[in-house]
Amino acid sequence: MKIDLHIHTKTGSDGALPIDEVFSEAKKRGINFLSITDHDNITHQEKAKELASANGLKYVTGVELNVTLNYNNKSVSLDFLGYGYDYLNTALNEKLGVMKEHREKRARQIIDNLNSEFKKENRPLFTGEDLQKIQESVDGIISRPHIADYLIKKGIVTSRQEAFDRYLVKCDVPKYPLPLEEAAALLRGAGGKAVLAHPNDPNGTS
């Protein structure tokens, strides 16, 4: 059995494919069991379950949450995956709504930080129109890869990696401070479980 339990979609997060194409591609690749784990977004879980059923695939609800925890008296940011939760759970959906608003505010602050770098390089600054174009390119939850894609489109960088190396690491703004304990409680309260995401690269890129 082929399994992939960490998939992002263009529909709900920073993936490359819309959700319907994810399932057709999974079937084409012989993946039997999968989970859509969009960043801070569970609005497409019902659609995912329907697509899994239509394609004869096994499915478990998923989400990726950035959490904070105290380690050696320092605040550490890590990504955790949530599985098997009820996507209609009120408390979980309310918290994700708050986190979505924070992501939108964070994107505006990252743009401001980018402009500070552009000034040093005598480069034209991003305007509200640029931010609007980035937002319009996002089907789900805005994150740094979307800004990276816009930097590529504008010819400022040639790849996402270059965007992060030159700008998006130094221009980053803290994510919503969701404590690990609260994230775990929310997922368990919705009948799910929390698992550490990409342990070999714990910082992630969202």
Position 150 scores a pLDDT of: 96
CATH number at residue 135: 1.10.150
Secondary structure (3-state) at 80: strand
Predicted confidence at residue 77, as pLDDT, reads 86
109 lies in some domain? yes
- Same domain for 51 and 122, yes or no, is no
pLDDT of residue 37: 97
pLDDT at 136: 86
Beta-bridged to residue 4, according to DSSP, are 34
Q: Which ranges of the chain have pLDDT less than 70?
A: 201-206
Domain assignment present for 204: no
**Axis-axis angle for helices 128-136, 90-120 (nearest 10):** 140
Distance separating alpha carbons of residues 100 and 141, to the nearest angstrom: 7
Query: Which pTM does this prediction carry?
Result: 0.84
Residue 26's pLDDT is 96
The confidence score (pLDDT) of residue 128 equals: 92
> Which domain does 49 fall in, by range?
2-89+176-196
Q: Reduced to 3 states, what is the DSSP secondary structure of residue 11? A: coil
Q: How many domains does the chain have?
A: 2
Q: What does the pLDDT read at residue 70?
A: 84
